[in-house]
Structure 1
C-alpha cells in the first residue's frame, strides 16, 4: 500500500494522496444549484468530510459506502472543521494491494 500520512496528521492547506475507505456517499446540491458528491472518508486514525465538486457523475455508480478509493486532495477548513477537497478520486483496484482491514481503527500503545 502507498506510504501515506494518517488523516489526523494533516493540516489546513496540506495536499495529499492516500487510500481511504468511503463511509458516506451522497449527491447534494450546492447553494448555487450545482450538484456535488458529499463523502465521508476514513483511515485508521480519523474520518473527514470530503467534497467532489466536478466530474463525479461517471464515478457515482462505482463509489459507494464501504468502497476503498485512491484520493488526491487538499485539506481545507470550512466553518471551523477540516474537510477534504477532492481533486482526483478512483476506486482501488486489485493491483493497489489494499484491504478493508487497513482502515480499521487500531490502538497505538
Structure 2
C-alpha cells in the first residue's frame, strides 16, 4: 500500500515528469499551469477528518468536488458547470449514443 502523500505525488509531480512536462505542470507554483479543485470535506465519507491528505486521496470522490479551475478558468462553481449547459451536454450525449447504437446495429 502507498501512503497518501506518495499517491498524490504520483498523480501530480511524477505524472508531469513522466509526460515530459516537469516545470510546466504538476504543482501549484507561479508560472505553471494548474488545475485546482475545491472539495467539500463536510460529509460522511470523510468523517472523522483526522488526516486531510489521506481523506482527499482515499475517501473523496467526484460527489465531493464543488468547484473546478483549469488553467485559471473556473469550469464548475458550486457543483454547476460554468461553460456548458446541462441540456446541451445531455443533447450531445444522446446524439452520440444514437450514432453508436446505429453503428453497432450496422455491424450485426
Q: TM-score interval w.r.t. the shorter chain? A: under 0.3
Q: TM-score, normalised by structure 1?
A: 0.21
Larger Rg computed on CA atoms: 2
Normalised by the size of structure 2, how large is the TM-score? Answer: 0.21
More strand by share: 1
